[in-house]
Amino acid sequence: MKVIGNLTKDAIIRAAVSEGISVTQAVGTDVIFNSGSTTGYAAAFDSSTGKVVIAFCDGTDGTKGKAIVGTVDPSNNSISFGSEVVFQNSEVTGDQMDCVFDSNANKVVIFYTDTVNSRSGAAIVGTVSGTSISFGTKATFESGNTSFITATFDSTNNKAVVFYRDEGNSNYGTAAVGTVSGTGISFGSPVVFNSANTPFLGSSFDSNAGKILVVYKDVGNSNYGNSIVGTVSGTSISFGSEVTFLSANGGFYRSIFDSSANKHVVLYDNPNDSNHGYARVGTISGTSVSFGTEAEFENGEAEYMGGVFDSNAGKIAIVYKDGSNSNRPTFVSGTVSGTDISFDTPVVLKAVEGVIYNPGVAYDSTNKRVVAAYADTTANPDNGLAQVISVGYSSATGGTIADGKPVIVNANGTVSSVSQSSQTQEAGTSVEYESDKNGSSKTAAIVHDTTNNKILIVYGDAANSDYGTAVVGTVSGTSISFGTPVVFESAYARFGSNQHQCATFIDGKIVIVYADGGNSNVGTAIVGTVSGTSISFGSAVVFNSGNTYEGAVVCTDTVNNKVIVAYRDEGNSNYGVACVGTVSGTSISFGSEHTFRSAAVFSTSIGFDASAGAAVVAYRDSSAGKAQVLTVSSTSVSSGSAVNFNSSANTTNNNVVYDSNAQKTVIVYVDGGNSAQGTAIVGTVSGTSISFGSEVVFNAATTAQVGATFDSNVNRIVIAYSDGGSLGNFTTGVVSGTSITFGQTETQFAAFNPFYNVLCFDSTNKKCVVAYMKGSSAYDNLSAVLTPEGNIPNLTTENFVGFMDGVTLDGTNGEILSSCSIARNQTSLTPGQTYFVSPTDGALSLTAGSPSVTAGTAISATELIVKG
The single-letter DSSP state of residue 867 is: P
- Domain coverage including residue 14: 4-20+399-423+794-866
Asked if residue 372 lies in contact with residue 52, where contact means CB atoms within 8 angstroms, the answer is no
Check: CB of residue 429 under 8 Å from CB of residue 784.
yes
3-state secondary structure of 116: helix
Strand, helix or coil for residue 5 = helix
Query: Is 815 found in the same domain as 737?
Result: no
**487 and 375 in a common domain:** no
Regarding whether 211 and 302 lie in a shared domain, the answer is: yes
Task: Assess contact for 40 and 440: CB atoms under 8 A.
Answer: no
CA dihedral 72→76→77→83, nearest 10 degrees, is: -40
DSSP state letters, 314-368 = TEEEEEEEETTTTTEEEEEEEEEETTEEEE---EES-SSSB--SPPEEEEETTTT
DSSP string, 475-511: EETTEEEE---EEEEEEEEE--S-TTBSEEEETTEEE
Flag residues of the chain having pLDDT under 70: 1-11, 94-95, 396-398, 436-440, 496-500, 725, 744, 775-779, 868
Of 753, 770, 788, at which residue does a domain stop?
A: 788
**In whole angstroms, how far apart are CA 230 and each of 191, 212, 214?**
11, 5, 7
CA–CA separation, 385 vs 348, rounded Å? 14
Helical H runs in 761-822?
none
CA atoms within 13 A on the CB side of 591: 20
| Beta partners for residue 214, in sequence order | 203, 228
If asked whether residues 360 and 417 sit together in one domain, one would say no
Taking the C-alpha atoms of residue 821 and residue 834, their distance in angstroms, rounded to an integer, is 15
Distance between CA atoms of residues 794 and 780, nearest Å: 39
Let me know: does 787 contact 479? Beta carbons within 8 Å.
no
Is 23 exposed, middle or buried, given 0-12, 13-18 or 19+ CB atoms closer than 10 A?
Answer: middle
Paired strand residues for 72:
79
CA distance 773 to 753: 9
* Cα–Cα distance measured from residue 637 to residue 631, given in angstroms and rounded to the nearest whole number: 5
DSSP state of 17: B
What is the rounded distance in angstroms from the CA atom of residue 668 to the CA atom of residue 666?
6
Q: Per the confidence metrics, is the pTM higher than 0.85?
A: no
Half-sphere exposure of 190 (CA within 13 A, CB side): 21
Q: Do residues 118 and 49 both lie within one domain?
A: yes
Indicate if 330 and 416 belong to the same structural domain: no
Give the separation between CA 34 and CA 38, rounded to whole angstroms.
Answer: 7
469 in Cβ contact with 482 (< 8 Å): no
Among 66, 146, 120, 747, which Cα is nearest to 360's?
66
We report the CATH number of the domain holding residue 800 as: 2.40.300
Compute how many other C-beta atoms are within 10 angstroms of the C-beta atom of residue 633: 11
User: What pLDDT shows up at residue 115?
Assistant: 87
Of 110, 100, 35, 117, nearest to 65 by C-alpha is 110
Query: Can you tell me the distance from the alpha carbon of 136 to that of 324, in angstroms, rounded to the nearest whole number?
Result: 43
In this structure, how many other beta carbons lie within 10 angstroms of the beta carbon of residue 713?
A: 20
List CB contacts of 6: < 8 A, sequence separation 6 or more: none
Residue ranges with strand state E in 712-853: 716-723, 727-736, 739-742, 747-750, 754-762, 767-774, 781-787, 790-793, 800-804, 808-809, 813-817, 822-823, 834-837, 844-845
Output the CA–CA distances (angstroms, integers) from residue 619 to 502, 571, 599, 667, 717, in the order listed. 15, 18, 11, 10, 20
CATH number assigned to the domain comprising residue 649: 2.120.10.10
DSSP 123-185: EEEEEEETTEEEE---EEEESS-EEEEEEEEETTTTEEEEEEEETTTTTEEEEEEEEEETTEE
d(CA 681, CA 669): 9
98 φ, ψ to 5°? -150, 165
Do residues 722 and 808 both lie within one domain? no
**CA–CA distance, 247 with 229 (Å, rounded to integer):** 18
Query: Domain total for the chain?
Result: 3
d(CA 301, CA 276): 5
Per 3-state DSSP, what percentage of the chain is helix, strand, and coil (rounded to 5)? 0, 60, 35
Bridge partners (DSSP) listed for residue 770? 759, 784
Among 391, 414, 434, the domain-final residue is 391
162 vs 253: CA distance, rounded Å: 15
Closest CA to 830 of 798, 857, 866: 857
Other C-beta atoms closer than 10 Å to the C-beta of 828 total 8
Q: Are residues 186 and 237 in the same domain?
A: yes
The verdict on 494 and 373 lying in the same domain is no
Of 391, 413, 437, which residue sits at a domain end? 391
Looking at the fold, whether 812 and 732 belong to one and the same domain comes out as no
Query: How much is the pLDDT for 5?
Result: 40
Alpha helices in 718-853 (DSSP H): none
Looking at the structure, tell me whether residues 205 and 221 fall in a common domain: yes
Please report, as a single letter, which amino acid is at residue 485.
P
Contacts of 409 (CB under 8 A, 6+ apart): 15, 415, 799, 801
DSSP 627: E
Domain containing residue 234: CATH number: 2.130.10.10
Same domain, 702 and 840: no
Tens-digit pLDDT profile for residues 758-776: 999 999 999 999 999 886 6
Question: What are residue 455's DSSP bridge partners?
Answer: 448, 473
Q: Say how far apart CA 723 and CA 704 lie, in whole Å.
A: 7
Cα separation, 556 vs 630, in Å, equals 12
Say what the pLDDT of residue 437 is.
Answer: 58
3-class SS of residue 463: helix
How many angstroms separate the CA atoms of 519 and 502, rounded? 18
* Closest of 390, 349, 315 to residue 74, by C-alpha: 390
Which residues, other chains included, contact 868 with Cβ-Cβ below 8 Å and sequence gap of 6+?
819, 820
